[in-house]
Amino acid sequence: MSPKHVIFKKLSRDKSVGVYMAKRDFVDHCDSIDPVDGVVLIDPVQVKGKKVFVMLSCTFRYGRDDMDVMGVAFRRDIFLTTRQVYPELQDKERSIHTKMQEKLLRKLGDNAIPFFFEFPDNLPCSVCLQPAPSDVGKRCAVEFEVKAFCAENQDEKIEKRSSVRLAIRKIQYAPEDSKTIPSSEITCEFLMSDKPLHMQVSLEKETHYHGEPIKVSVYINNSSSRSLKDITVAVEQVTNVVLYSNDKYVRAVALEETSDTVPPGTTLKNVYTLIPLLAANKERRGIALDGKLKHEDTCLASSSIVKEEVLKEVQGMLVSYKVVVRLNASGMVGSSEVAVEVPFRLMHPKPEPAKEGESDDMVFEEFKRVYLKGVIPDDDESPTEA
């Protein structure tokens, strides 16, 4: 039996327009980006002679909506494009429909109209900062949204009851991993010590997947007269807000505090295993997430991969990861901290290509009810709703 296709749909409150899409995650493959495509279903009686438009937007939001720009809040449209789909205009650039669009057009009838957008190659991926439980208002985030609406023209104020807005995500999968073994080392000389301390830290590979154990190999040769103790191994997430502010969030998303010691004149060779997971950081403010569609689970943000020709400031927020090994070197003249950092990437693995069946059978799901236990009122118009 051929598999059924899950199609997500959402209708405006007055039922004048509805949007149908086969997916909500769109992948940036670095050399190409999945186009955003779907179908708009209109009710000519409810449209009442108005035009129907579809909009694709990428917005950077930093701070709550109730704070002014001179305080903390800031909102900027990084990308915005609108197309009229009804009455239909001749689109010479895009006359070929995807297979899913063709099936939807057959299924929905004459009042269904396809739409198609291509992302420019300089847009960031979806990312948001996790608020604290006490925080209110919109989250700090780079968000993508598809909106369909009825209006006399695209510049007039949009009526909520005649519009529908859907949150989508732009994501990246891990590229082919290089053969380079990430490592870093440090040699420290201390006062009143003839010989140095040498520490080397290495990882198995440069790219790790979400949920995958990270094995950290630590080698310490303590030729100094200092006693080494309080060794900690951490995975740190670093989020740089590069648009509007220069805020920087550094959070340890996985941590192991050991009782290992390295007396003078001895060595230590050990492998520590850490697994950075959102589940262990649910209540912590400032943790970067891989974007979030309302009522869906997400994970820690993936590492940002920015093309060389793209301005970093346009990316809104950049996320990176590093393993940090710290230890305390104590002696007769006090103590000091020694640290070694090893950068790496944390991303999703590239999935196997889906095998599309020949069946036209489709399962239609309401956007607002997917992954949700219960019912949301029809007037819920949150821009982050999906």
Per-residue confidence in pLDDT tens, the chain, 386 aa: 455 677 888 999 999 999 999 888 998 887 788 999 999 999 988 888 899 999 999 999 886 544 444 455 578 889 999 999 988 876 544 567 888 888 888 898 899 999 999 998 888 999 999 877 666 666 789 999 999 999 888 888 888 899 999 999 999 888 876 788 999 999 988 877 788 999 999 999 999 999 999 999 999 999 988 889 999 999 999 999 887 767 889 999 999 999 999 999 999 999 999 999 999 998 888 899 988 766 567 889 999 988 777 677 678 889 999 999 999 988 656 678 899 999 999 998 887 765 555 455 666 666 543 332 222 233 333 333 32
Listed in sequence order, the residues at least 6 apart from 161 whose beta carbon sits closer than 8 Å to its beta carbon are 12, 13, 14
Q: How far apart are CA 188 and CA 224, in angstroms?
A: 9
Give the model's pLDDT for residue 29: 82
Alpha helices in the chain (DSSP H): 44-47, 99-108
Q: How far apart are CA 342 and CA 243, in angstroms?
A: 26
Q: How far apart are CA 37 and CA 105, in angstroms?
A: 13
Q: 343 and 182 in contact (C-beta within 8 Å)?
A: yes
Q: What are the chain's domains?
A: 5-173+351-369 (2.60.40.840), 183-347 (2.60.40.640)
DSSP state of 189: -
3-state secondary structure at position 71: coil
The position carrying tokens 């009455």 is 87
Q: What number of other Cβ atoms are within 10 A of residue 89's Cβ?
A: 10
Q: How far apart are CA 186 and CA 202, in angstroms?
A: 12
Q: What number of other Cβ atoms are within 10 A of residue 54's Cβ?
A: 26
Listed in sequence order, the residues at least 6 apart from 223 whose beta carbon sits closer than 8 Å to its beta carbon are 195, 196, 197, 198, 264, 265
Let me know how many helices (H) and strands (E) the chain has, helices first: 2, 21
Q: 181 and 203 in contact (C-beta within 8 Å)?
A: yes
Give the model's pLDDT for residue 315: 81
Rg for the chain, CA atoms, rounded: 26
Whether pTM > 0.75 for this model: the answer is: yes
Give the model's pLDDT for residue 209: 94
- Give the DSSP per-residue string, 302-324: PPP---TTS-GGGGSEEEEEEEE
Which is nearest to 206 in space by CA: 317, 308, 321? Answer: 321
Q: 172 and 28 in contact (C-beta within 8 Å)?
A: yes
Q: How far apart are CA 56 and CA 75, in angstroms?
A: 16
Q: 311 and 322 in contact (C-beta within 8 Å)?
A: no
Give the model's pLDDT for residue 383: 33
Give the model's pLDDT for residue 354: 58
Q: How far apart are CA 65 and CA 46, in angstroms?
A: 32
Which is nearest to 214 in space by CA: 322, 340, 350, 327? Answer: 322
The position carrying tokens 């094995």 is 215
Which is nearest to 61 in space by CA: 215, 167, 193, 175? Answer: 167
Q: How far apart are CA 297 and CA 290, in angstroms?
A: 10
